[in-house]
Amino acid sequence: MFCEDKMNIDSVLDILQLIGTFGHIISTAESLMLHNSLLILQTENHFQNIFYWGKILGTEDDYYIAYGYSKDILLKRTYYYSKDCINWGLLPQPNNIGLELTPLCKTNFQGNAALVTEIKMEEEQIMDARSNKPPLIKRLKEEDRLSATVHLITKEVAVVPRGALFKRSDGVIVENRSFEGLSPLEATDLASYQHFRPATQKLKNNLFARKDYNYAIDFLDTIDMDVPTNCWTIQPTKDETGVIIRSMYWPGMIFYHFSKTPKHGFLYTGNGKKCIDLPFM
């Protein structure tokens, strides 16, 4: 979840109320505990800002995710997870095993970070079937799966409006305090929104895609270039003062922005599974 406030949980509740999902995604008690515990977490770690990322649902317990940063908001984020909105544990950096096995894991999250799941490697299984060898089985710790899932969701579908982030002359990326929001017309255009991760396209592609390009704010990839073309939906809010953007690849990820204001953010609430059938739908 991203917005201009020092503590963004209040903005989370506002948007959930606006789109009619408050109480289904987060309760009043949870919001109060999150507000207080994130404030403590920010103070203890000397973060410049801290944000509520969302919640990954488990069969026994859910994982609440938050992140903070001290200097560079794009490259130096630190993630935490909690099961009670009070006590937060450091979420480790995603490792190669987690990134490899997480897309292959079909079971639901349990809510036990120490749980180890056995995963049969399908390609190896086909080869071993011909040679009468037992299929290769790899093991994935749920904490590593959680870390990889948060990483993949953020990398693929976390969104910010154009101009919300600013690249300083020293290369450090910070929140743009002078960002006043998109115009109503810009807010309805997917080209006005950028991925909240380092660009994968060449810089010149992102700069020259616009006639009004600005090196300080057009250094990120825009989401209108994502494929397939139906991987995003955009609709006005109930009061028509802003827009809601939803990811079809990762159901449960929503982004909002109120036109002509700096208010914006993203929030994920789901089972941590990607809709891999989307290109064929």
Most confident of 123-127, 167-171, 240-244, 276-280: 167-171
Average pLDDT, the chain: 88
175: part of which helix (H) or strand (E)? Answer: strand 173-175
Between 9 and 180, the higher pLDDT residue: 180
Residue 228 has a pLDDT of: 87
How far apart are the C-alpha atoms of 145 and 99, rounded to whole Å?
A: 8
Helix, strand and coil content of the chain, in percent to the nearest 5, comes to: 30, 25, 45
Residue 237 has a pLDDT of: 84
Tokens at residue 217, please? Answer: 């704010």
How, if at all, do strands 242-247 and 232-236 pair?
antiparallel
Residue 18 has a pLDDT of: 63
Could you tell me the pLDDT band of residue 15, with boundaries at 50, 70 and 90? low
265: part of which helix (H) or strand (E)? Answer: strand 264-270
How far apart are the C-alpha atoms of 62 and 64, rounded to whole Å?
A: 7
Lowest mean pLDDT among 10-19, 166-175, 184-193, 247-256: 10-19
Mean pLDDT to the nearest integer, 20-44:
80
Residue 9 has a pLDDT of: 63
How far apart are the C-alpha atoms of 121 and 128, rounded to whole Å?
A: 10
Phi/psi of residue 127, nearest 5 degrees: -65, -40
251 CB neighbour count, 10 Å cutoff: 16
DSSP 41-87: HHHHHT-SEEEEEEEE--SS--EEEEEEESS-TTT-EEEEEESSSS-
Tokens at residue 257, please? Answer: 């922005």
Tens digit of each residue's pLDDT (9 = 90 or more) over 127-161: 445 566 667 889 999 999 999 999 999 999 999 99
Query: Residues of 168-193 as b/e, b for ≥16 C-beta within 10 angstroms?
Result: eeeeebbbbeebebbeeebbeebebb
pTM value surpassing 0.85: yes
Domain residue ranges of the chain, discontinuous segments joined by +: 9-94+148-273, 96-147
Tens digit of each residue's pLDDT (9 = 90 or more) over 48-68: 999 999 999 999 999 999 999
Lowest mean pLDDT among 60-69, 118-127, 174-183, 188-197: 118-127
Measured CA distances, 121 to 110, 127, 144, 149 (Å): 21, 10, 18, 19
Residue 126 has a pLDDT of: 47
Residue 209 has a pLDDT of: 80
How far apart are the C-alpha atoms of 36 and 86, rounded to whole Å?
A: 8
Mean pLDDT to the nearest integer, 211-227:
92
Mean pLDDT to the nearest integer, 88-95:
97
